[in-house]
Amino acid sequence: MKLLPLCSLLAYLVFSIVSLASADEPSEESRILAVLRKMEAAFEEVKDYTCEVEQIFYRGGVEEQRYRFKYFFKKKKRIRIDFYYPYPTLSFFYNGGDEVTALPFRSLGLFKFRFSVDNPKIQTLAGQKINQTDMGYFIQFLAENLKKVAQRKADFEEDTDQVRFWFQALDYIRGKDVERYRISISRENWLPLRIERRTLGDELIELSLIRNYAIDTRLEDKLFNP
């Protein structure tokens, strides 16, 4: 007759311990928010940066196009892109506003072409504009979607060098379809090192690999003048 109360007490204690552990475990949103806050704080201090980027686009899960370039950024929103592949002499310049200047041969400054920032000819295969390419824009993209889209199965991984997680967001071109992003963040500067963009069905759409960050090297204004 005394076994029933004892079993009930044990069951209650187990349930309480499990419930307490679950309550103490941070949610997916709170983990991402903690990383995002560090990214925002770190980027707030950045005056300029350069990095090397390899960007690969896929169609039907198969590689369609690959680009390699060096990226220059200076606040406020000054951007230069020097391509290595497949256009080894091409450079783009953006200094805010609605205009982008292209130099097909960057060693020959006489040949300049000006485009609207909205011109599809100078957007990525995914439709990304040059004023949507800096890390400040990407951090803002994460912050906005953290409010709009529920995060599930973030699968956080951390080591001494990186934080890696899955992030669900509306696509950054039309803002309609939910997609999945696998993001790797450097713990040294809290900037992305790898960004995978996938459909909800796990089909790879786009892969960006970012290397060799150089931060606050006092980039001169003339570097951004075509």
Residue 169: inside a domain:
yes
Say whether pLDDT at 167 is over 80: yes
Residue 19: inside a domain:
no
| 8 Å CB contact between 192 and 184 | yes
Say whether pLDDT at 2 is over 60: no
Residue 10: inside a domain:
no
Number of domains observed in the structure of the chain: 1
Residue 23: inside a domain:
no
Residue 20: inside a domain:
no
| pTM (predicted TM-score) | 0.85
Whole-angstrom distance, CA of residue 137 vs CA of residue 105: 28
pLDDT (tens digit, 9 = 90+) per residue, 109-148?
A: 778 999 999 999 999 888 899 999 999 999 999 999 999 9
Whole-angstrom distance, CA of residue 207 vs CA of residue 121: 21
| 8 Å CB contact between 154 and 168 | no
pLDDT-based confidence at residue 107 (cuts at 50, 70, 90): confident
Say how many Å lie between the first and final Cα of the chain, rounded.
Answer: 89
- Burial (CB count <10 Å: 0-12, 13-18, 19+), residue 141: middle
Residue 12: inside a domain:
no
Residue 121: inside a domain:
yes
Q: Under DSSP, is residue 176 helix (H, G, I), strand (E, B) or coil?
A: coil
**Across residues 74-99, what is the average pLDDT?**
95
Residue 22: inside a domain:
no
> In this structure, what CATH number is given to the domain that contains residue 95?
2.50.20.10
Q: Residue 194 sits in which domain range? A: 28-224
pLDDT reported for residue 17: 39
pLDDT-based confidence at residue 162 (cuts at 50, 70, 90): very high
